[in-house]
Structure 1
């Protein structure tokens, strides 16, 4: 756990190989994932209007990250125009990552949503293996675990990924990417449309 809701934020984190989940607590005692942040972003900078956070930040996939005091981060933003532009671009990308799953869930099949999630999550790492259960993917996407299991099984039969307990290994990334819905390409403008 990096920080909890309503805690005073003192550091900004820049994931390198780690992926950090931003989550919001629900009144029933559970939490909902709102965005995954990897090497493309930063965690803790959303408190620029104050230093108290509304969400939880938790390491989803372990790895390396840099840590910078929030005061240093804020000072650099006020003094360095180029740094401010980078922060604004990262913030725009995070807003897109939060908004796009809503569009995807209303317009695309469960299979397409699972593939989009896999591709986006892999883009945040430097590997081909995700330590994740079908239930965790289902909870994140708001679909049934059985749908994730059926999709993973189908993709496995087609030779696109290897499924084992609590782990997914990507075997054919180009083919998997080709199967992703346009939401994946919208969220990753460097890809050809």
Structure 2
């Protein structure tokens, strides 16, 4: 753990009560992650979870013909490895580093040990899971109804919100794979945005010149996603006070039996470690 880049720069860690964060601190390791670095592959056992600080991580699905499609990217608002808390210990997708930067890593057993204390971390991660589901659903609608130029602006704004620089390293081929279109379509959309003075693209690097211009040409989905990300994940799980004891007993996670099964899965993981 580093005082120069505090873990609280990740939104989930920042929302933890001091006592819960203090228990996790000895297990948090600050890493510098490099662009295109592989964090886990499909079918591999998930050994670690990652709390990005300045890095942006990407979750991709690989098709039978070798093509890839980005499912989700994760920045300082979230966590890579949430499936561990859903009793899934083997990856069903590929995870890599989209943008070079820092992230805190924690072992799977240590994360689950804190999660099953039924404290604030459990509530945060369940709320964050709901946010992710909402985001994936909205992206599917966006891909169906909005133009490539609108979706490109939305994507660049999301990356701008997560990063510390107005310059991104990304090829047009990579953007085509992310947006699910041919490279030629990305080239034309980039050309139009350059003429409008919104951005400048050169040799795999895009410099964002006008945030206002990006927002003007982005679809409505960006503002929806921005509001959801800005809203604390824990707010999604607010219940009346009289329900709290039952929730801590496991009713929030589809009943006591499901929680018991997940605890058993964690115990098996800890023994295997």
Output the TM-score relative to the length of structure 1.
0.92
- Aligned residue in 1 for 2:114: 76
Q: Could you report, residue by residue, the CA deviation over 1:15-41 in whole angstroms, capped at 9, with x for unpaired residues?
A: 111111111121112322111111111
- Aligned residue in 2 for 1:39: 76
Give 1:50 deviation, angstroms.
3.1
Match of 1:171 among 192, 209, 214: 209
Q: Could you report, residue by residue, the CA deviation over 1:80-134 in whole angstroms, capped at 9, with x for unpaired residues?
A: 5221222122212222232222111211111101111111122221221110011
Counterpart-to-counterpart distance in 1, 2:45 and 2:117: 24
In structure 2, the CA distance between the partners of 1:42 and 1:119, relative to structure 1 (3 Å rule), is: same
In structure 2, the CA distance between the partners of 1:61 and 1:96, relative to structure 1 (3 Å rule), is: same
Give the structure with the larger helix fraction: 2
Counterpart-to-counterpart distance in 1, 2:128 and 2:217: 26
Which protein shows a greater Rg? 2
- Aligned residue in 1 for 2:52: 15
- Aligned residue in 1 for 2:101: 63
Query: Contact between 1:47 and 1:53, CA under 8 Å: does it hold in 2?
Result: no
Greater shift, 142-151 or 60-69, is seen at 142-151
- Aligned residue in 1 for 2:63: 26
Aligned residues: 191
SS of corresponding position for 1:64: strand
CA RMSD of aligned residues (A): 1.6
In structure 2, the CA distance between the partners of 1:185 and 1:152, relative to structure 1 (3 Å rule), is: same
Structure 2 residue 153 is the aligned partner of structure 1 residue 120: no
- After the TM superposition, list the runs of 4 or more consecutive aligned residues in structure 1 that deviate by more than 6 angstroms: none
Give 1:168 deviation, angstroms.
0.6
Query: Contact between 2:61 and 2:93, CA under 8 Å: does it hold in 1?
Result: yes
- Aligned residue in 2 for 1:147: 185
Q: Specify every segment of 5 or more residues in structure 1 that has no aligned partner in the other structure, as ranges.
A: none
Query: Contact between 1:21 and 1:60, CA under 8 Å: does it hold in 2?
Result: yes
Counterpart-to-counterpart distance in 2, 1:96 and 1:136: 24
- Aligned residue in 2 for 1:104: 142
Give 1:190 deviation, angstroms.
6.3
Counterpart-to-counterpart distance in 1, 2:68 and 2:177: 10
